[in-house]
Amino acid sequence: MKHLPEHPGLTRRRFLAVAGTALVAPTLIPASALGADGRAAPSERITLGSVGWGMQGPGNTEQFLAAPDCQVVAVCDLDQHHLEQAVNRINTHYGNRDCQAYHDYHQLMARTDIDALMLAVPDHWHALVGVEACRQKKDVYGEKPLARTIAEQQAIVHAVRKHDRIWQMGSW
């Protein structure tokens, strides 16, 4: 009978402890943390803040809620009723109360855990909010028109390039 080589650092007790931990780990770590629930793992998700709810916000947000690699974590709107609707819809979708509400988009943009913003603001706000988003190192999803004037469009393009951001345009 062959004898197995001895491993001075691996005792029977140590082996059982490591094996036990390996067996129990799947019950301690939620599937969502590993991306096993059909959604991307947290480290692979794009965290999104929505600026504006009103007319375009609900439809746009539904598209992001349906994306497994995206998580909407914050909403900003000046109208309290719109803000409550948005937070309730997002929290209902995720089954938690994690979505934060803001009346001031500067506070939402100050969050370092937000990767990108979805803009659903009136056209005359696109440049102002969009340029600030780029300064705050946020990527942007916005809809047409990009801006109202050539100067505003140039300011957006300059901010995107200067801060190395992504700006995606959509259309309804």
User: Can you give the pLDDT of all 172 residues of the chain as single tens digits?
Assistant: 566 556 566 677 766 666 666 655 555 555 555 555 566 777 789 999 999 998 999 999 999 999 999 999 999 999 999 999 999 999 999 999 999 999 999 999 999 999 999 999 999 999 999 999 999 999 999 999 999 999 999 999 999 999 999 999 998 7
Q: What residues does each domain of the chain span?
A: 10-39, 45-170
Please tell me the predicted confidence (pLDDT) of residue 26. Answer: 57
Which residue spans within 24-114 are E strands per DSSP?
46-51, 70-76, 100-102
Q: pTM score, two decimals?
A: 0.75
Please tell me the predicted confidence (pLDDT) of residue 34. Answer: 53
Please tell me the predicted confidence (pLDDT) of residue 162. Answer: 99
169, β-bridge pairs = 142
45-170: CATH superfamily? NAD(P)-binding Rossmann-like Domain (3.40.50.720)
**Cβ neighbours, 10 Å, residue 86:** 26
Helix axes 80-94, 57-65, angle to 10 degrees: 20
Measured distance CA(136)–CA(132) in Å, rounded: 6
Please tell me the predicted confidence (pLDDT) of residue 22. Answer: 64
Please tell me the predicted confidence (pLDDT) of residue 41. Answer: 78
Measured distance CA(45)–CA(7) in Å, rounded: 42
